[in-house]
Structures are given as C-alpha cells and as structure tokens.
Amino acid sequence: MKVAAVQMVSSADRDTNLIQAQYWIEQAAQQGAELVVLPEYFCLLGKKDTDKLLIKEDDGQGIIQQTLSQCAQKNSVWIVGGTMPVSIDSDDSHVFNTSFVWGPKGQCVARYDKIHLFGFDNGKERYDESRVLLRGHKPVTFDLPSIDGHTWRIGLSVCYDLRFPELYRVLSAQGADLFLVPSAFTYTTGQVHWTVLLRARAIENLSYVVAPAQGGTHDNGRTTWGHTSIVGPWGENLGELAVGAGIVLADCDATHLKNIRQQLPALEHRHLP
C-alpha cells in the first residue's frame, strides 16, 4: 500500500491552509497514494492558542470536515485529517484536538481525540496545551482494505502521544500494524527526540509508522521541527522531508511485515500487561 505523509507550514489563515492541504492531497493521489495523512494543526497554526476556538467545528459539520470529505471522494483516497479543533458540549473555552478519517467515498470512518496534552517550559519556551484543549480518553484503530489485498489495521495517535509507549502497546494489542503520528513538534524537542521516538515505536511494535509534520517558521514566529518521516517495522527510514511543504511517499509491504514478525516474534514473547 502506498502511503503519503504531507508536510505543511500552516499559517494563521484557515482557508489558505485548506487550499494547500487539497493541493498536496491531489499531488499524492496522482502519484498513486492510497492513504494520505496531514499533519497536526494542518488547518491552523494561529498567532495565539485561543485562535483554535474561532474555527472549531461540531462533529460532522463545518467547512474543514466538508472539504476533506469531498477531497477524499474526488481523489478516491483515504484521508486522515491531521488534527482540527472540535467543539465540546457546554465548554466554550476548550476544544478537542481531533483526528478524523475519511474513506474514498467521503465517509467519515473514525475519530480520535488526542489523549496526551503537551506541556513544556525550559525558561525560554513555554507550552501548555491544556489551557485550550481537553484530552481524549479512548485509543482508536480503523481498518483499511487495501488494493494490495491486505486489510491494514491502523492505530491513531498525535504528536505528544509519541512519548507514551503504552498507547502503542494498546493499539498493537488491538491488531494495529501501522501507526499514524500527525505532529507539530517544536524545533527544540524535535532535533533530539523525534527520529529516536519514531524508530522506537516502530521497532518495539514491529509496525510501520507514518509521521507527517509541520516543518518551518509560522505566522506566530514559532519554528516547527518538520522531518516528516515514514519508518518501517525494522526501524528503517523509508522516506523523510526535512523542512518546507511537500509529501513523503513510501510503500508499506504486508508481506515484509509478516516476515519480520515471523523472524522476530517479539509481540508473542511479551509477559507483562
């Protein structure tokens, strides 16, 4: 199955970002991608955290969801919409950071609300996602019947989730053989941890990892690390884009995955929950 991870340098304008996302999805589809994954906050990296509240949408409604649904149908691809802000009943000051999945007929097939919320303070940079976001609670997988004849079980995660291996163990126990990690890693943390963590999640679960990222300097002055990557189940780098907008394409091979898991049946050797 050919997959595409889209790297963006999202702006503070939703409509501009949607145009860019559609362009890269179309480019990926033209190059044979069956699954296209956008980065975290693809629709908006605002000048302040509360800008997310201005473009939030109810589940199943709104221009962002409608655009990606139509784009999936138009290009006959599976689309994972990075993340977008989704309304919370009776709480106007917070949103969920949500990853939606659309099938090639435009149908929404899965929703994942980011579980782990980023917090960081080194005296120079400070981030606290909990000021505007509420966390989700439920690990989510979905099945993608590929034209390669294999039904891929795909585990959803977002950015900071990458630091919590227990989430991926749960997804693996549910049968996931491919993990998605749409992200907007900071430059400071990304340069030392991003690649190491992606490879670790792939190796310890003998699974593919597809990690689209934000990669550049944004309207708010923040610089994201980028390095959108696709990693194989042996920890091999299948493709990477360091900085700037673009796509990374790679083939995920079900036979290779099966062989790796037969040669090193580590998932069967686990004894602790």
List, by residue number, the catalytic residues: 40, 114, 159
Output 238-244 pairs: Cβ under 8 A, ≥24 positions apart: 239/5, 241/7, 241/215, 242/215, 243/215, 243/216, 244/7, 244/9, 244/215, 244/216
- Measuring CA to CA, how many Å separate 245 from each of 116, 134, 167, 205? 26, 29, 29, 29
